[in-house]
Amino acid sequence: MSTISPREAQWREELRKARSAKERTATPRVKMPELDPAYRITCNEEVNRGLSREQAVTEATRCLDCPDPQCITGCPVGINIPGFIKNIERGCFGEAAIVLKETSALPAVCGRVCPQERQCESKCIYNKMRKEPVAIGYLERFAADNARLSGESSQPGCAAPNGIKIAVVGSGPASLSFAGDMARRGFEVQVFEALHEIGGVLKYGIPEFRLPNEVVDVEIRALQAMGVKFITDCVIGKTLVYNDLVEMGFRGVFVASGAGLPRFMGIPGENFVGVMSSNEYLTRVNLMGAGRPGWATPVIQGKRVAVVGGGNTAMDSCRTAKRMGAEEVYIVYRRSEAEMPARVEEVRHAKEEGITFLTLHNPVEYLADENGRVRAMRLQRMELGEPDASGRRSPVPVEGDIVEVPVDEVIVSVGVSPNPLIPNSVEGLEVTRRGTLAVDDDTLCTSIPMLYAGGDIVRGGATVILAMGDGRKAAAAMASKLI
């Protein structure tokens, strides 16, 4: 897509000349202002406070506006990163937000939850200079927040309506990104959400202290302003089936129904009362308001809580448990901290908040009291062996070394399997051996001609930004088929 801020623009040339590279690289990377750990575990307030204008402009000045910017190659949606950063440097924050919106439907979300350290920031030229990379994620968040809070419209224009109806299944990041791209191309987009809230994992999964719901709602309202319609409480594959959508005149369908069934480990005692999936725990607290006065949904509020797993969802769960009043919270992870899939920042935040990390420990059994409530876990001590298929050193049990730790709540966060609702309900829809939808790599089209799919229903558990990238890719492919 074209950009309003190309590198050849005169203002960018002038900006590049305004300061020497030496001057730019002499500035240290900005630190994100954060809430104090002792305070933040008492509430749900967002931990990262965002950069001030001065901090943002100074950080933007560090960016060298490279002739061949590698950061863009690290971004799954190909954001014009120097383009938006240079707009921040020159003080045009609104323009910066528009550049973000050219390629990303959810910059305020991505600026908060993307693993930038593994994507754009890992490709930054500063790494080669053995310096900390430009804080692209913080700047993205700054530009998006600034646009939101100032009320300036950062919406890129939409093409004239083409009258073609498109259905979207699910309202998580892949769907929102797809819906935005299609609406901008002039399509009439209708999103069907199974839950009673729009936003998918952004609402039920990621906690308020990491991604406030209001941030998501603003992005949803922006899509509504572009003409995207949302229907909640509608399960595609159940309330309506694929053929109903075709009969209703939808000429293309994008399925992004998300990560489905939570995985458990299959160890004894896993069905005791007090053992639950992170999906269940986080949904109860984030979506259903459990633990807040006036909300009907209950949740077990354990005093000694173990969270099994080492991903971002595990970090979200353990930090939530702390905020729900747990006295002792453990992360139980079978490899070492170096192999943890969670973002470095999440791990650091969890540790600051007093979470105990039991790395190189693997649950082998849960024990219950006479009422079937979990009272302890038995953990097998592990050590690292040879690298496995994932390239990470594989965990090997230390024979006979088992410890018993008392707990009254266990949150299992070891991944998800694909949800069977869509695969089961569309005849002729091909699935992979893992149960995910089989798609063409380039177009994300499934075995049904006008049925496209992306996000976790295809990937089987990935990140917000990869899901969004899928949404963009599918939108481009579907649009070129239809117009």
Residue 77's contacts (CB-CB under 8 Å, 6 or more residues apart) are 103, 104, 177, 465, 468, 469, 472
- The distance of closest approach from Cβ of residue 417 to other proteins in the complex, given in angstroms and rounded to an integer, is 9
Q: Does 400 bind other proteins (CB under 8 A)?
A: no
Q: Does 33 bind other proteins (CB under 8 A)?
A: no
- The distance of closest approach from Cβ of residue 279 to other proteins in the complex, given in angstroms and rounded to an integer, is 5
Q: Does 431 bind other proteins (CB under 8 A)?
A: no
Question: Identity (one letter) of the amino acid at 378?
Answer: R
Residue 186 or 435 having the CB closest to other proteins: 435
Hey, which residues between 216 and 255 contact other proteins (CB under 8 A)?
232-235, 238-241
246 class by beta-carbon count within 10 Å (0-12 exposed, 13-18 middle, 19+ buried): middle
Single residue of 271, 390, 432, 480 touching other proteins by CB under 8 A: 271
Q: Does 438 bind other proteins (CB under 8 A)?
A: no
Q: Does 385 bind other proteins (CB under 8 A)?
A: no
Neighbours of 442 (CB within 10 A): 9
Here's the x/- map for other proteins, 276-295, by CB under 8 A: it reads as: xx-xx--xx---xx----xx
**363, 308 contact by CB (below 8 A):** yes
Q: Does 434 bind other proteins (CB under 8 A)?
A: no
Distance CA 363, CA 341 (A): 18
Closest CA to 342 of 309, 320, 319, 381: 309
Residue 312's contacts (CB-CB under 8 Å, 6 or more residues apart) are 113, 341, 342, 343, 346
Single residue of 76, 115, 180, 274 touching other proteins by CB under 8 A: 274
Residue 6 or 420 having the CB closest to other proteins: 420
Residue 298 or 406 having the CB closest to other proteins: 298
Distance CA 307, CA 396 (A): 20
Residue 385 or 420 having the CB closest to other proteins: 420
Torsion of CA 221, 222, 225, 230, to 10 degrees: -50
Element (H, E) at 468: helix 464-482
Q: Does 268 bind other proteins (CB under 8 A)?
A: no
In degrees, rounded to 5, the angle at the alpha carbon of residue 227 between the alpha carbons of residues 222 and 233 is 85
Here's the x/- map for other proteins, 142-181, by CB under 8 A: it reads as: ----------------------------------------
Angle between helices 213-225 and 136-150 (to 10 degrees): 60
- The distance of closest approach from Cβ of residue 64 to other proteins in the complex, given in angstroms and rounded to an integer, is 44
Please give the residue ranges that form the binding site for other proteins (CB under 8 A).
Answer: 194-196, 204, 232-235, 238-241, 258-262, 264, 266, 271-274, 276-277, 279-280, 283-284, 288-289, 294-298, 371-373, 419-421
